[in-house]
Amino acid sequence: MTRQYFGTDGIRGTVGQAPITADFALKLAHAVGRVLKRTEAKPTVLIGKDTRISGYMLESALESGFNSAGVDVVLLGPLPTPGVAYLTRAQRAALGVVISASHNPFEDNGIKFFSAQGTKLPDAWERDVEATLRQAPVWADSANLGRSRRLEDAAGRYIEFCKSTFANNLTLKGLRIVVDAANGAAYQIAPKVFHELGAEVIAIGCAPDGLNINKGVGATHPEALIAAVKAHRAHLGVALDGDADRLQMVDADGRLFNGDEVLYLMVDDRLRRGEPVPGVVGTLMTNMAVELALQARGVPLVRARVGDRYVLEELEKNNWLLGGEGSGHLLALDKHTTGDGLISALQVLQLCVRSGKPLAELLGDLMLFPQTLINIRLKPGQDWRASARLESETLSVEAELGQDGRLLIRASGTEPLVRVMVEARDADQARACAQRIADTISA
């Protein structure tokens, strides 16, 4: 059975349009509550959110839906997605709920869930929830309704957890760091984490008004961070997205480091300390230069489908710890059960402090291959996979690139598009090869 509402990362859409409406949120929570009660008599769920104005509406609706099914609710207030995952596990709750559309604009919102272990739930659980949604509600009577309370120190607990992942014998004293929280869930938390570890912190993107999340700031708009680092002559800059599970970093020269480079630095930190790194998981989009650099150090890279849940699945299958995406979703499973922008930043800062070297020097000769990405809109009914001409052109491009480049052709999961990506040591070659494939599909 296919899922009607759940996508790759929960349920997401435009506020006021199905399914991101108050009535659907209530029905969803009621259905989830009924699923939980099949295995636990009186379950408790935690609800956290980012700073979108619609979060108030969805929070109230979810709270009522859970209570109506006889489920207790603990409200966390604004808290990063990984913070909800952590507290769900720490509080021994049955489920964690996050109200957020991550890096999307404020007009969107979403609802996603974490298991009692702080991990994302399997497709089978989501299908079970959708099947229950189609059934008539079973309202709890007055004596068996759920209760709600607020966890007043949720932010403080998560701050201490983040700090615990940074080596006790190290400090950030002497570092001036610009922190950009995207006017999102980490707007209070992120500056405190770095300040309490000793850094001088300049905060930007930390003044949410319900409408400005991700607007011109954060990991998806790093130009704001680059400008602030230069203006304040900071040593480093850290940018998160709206729910703080995504990270981009900037050095004192204003150079931006994406998730692929940060992942390599996290591996480098382990190797320098003599810790084994049996393998790393990237995605189909991970830059080939990172793959080659890891292989040169004896660390294999396995590519998963695009999406942090698929990276996690591959890590668990191989029993590995480190993985991530170029977008900045990074996983260190010995530190946290899910991607966490703050914890990822702290792992890189440890390396900077220990080595006394800036990010660019730590990356050494690692130079990302130029990538060209072209989106081709398909004609109605077009079966691009059956094209003999495309097959021939693909073989020609792959032969031309050889060991110094890579071609990736994949269909969009949400639009009638084919995405063509070519990377090569030479930018002109990457562009030319990508255009050849695009022209073949368009013909």
Quick one: tokens of 7? 């996508």
Residue 58 one-letter amino acid: L
C-alpha pair distances (Å), 285 with each of 345, 406, 430: 21, 10, 14
**Cα 91 to Cα 100: distance, rounded to the nearest angstrom:** 21
Question: Which stretches of 143-217 are assigned E, i.e. beta strand?
Answer: 148-150, 176-180, 200-204
Contacts of 140 (CB under 8 A, 6+ apart): 67, 68, 69, 70, 146
Contact between 411 and 417 under an 8 Å Cβ cutoff? The reply is: yes
Residue 170 one-letter amino acid: L
DSSP H or E run through 316: helix 308-318
Quick one: tokens of 119? 């991990």
Pairing relationship of beta strands 11-14 and 108-114 according to DSSP bridges = antiparallel
Among 406, 176, 184, 379, which Cα is nearest to 287's? 406
Among 108, 109, 95, which Cα is nearest to 66's? 95
**Cα 99 to Cα 211: distance, rounded to the nearest angstrom:** 15
**Cα 219 to Cα 170: distance, rounded to the nearest angstrom:** 26
Quick one: tokens of 324? 């991530």
DSSP H or E run through 11: strand 11-14
Helix extents (H) in 170-305: 189-196, 223-231, 259-272, 288-296
108: how many CB neighbours lie within 10 A of its CB? 21
Among 60, 253, 86, which Cα is nearest to 158's? 86
Helix, strand, or coil here: 222? coil
Which residues does the annotation mark as catalytic?
Answer: 102
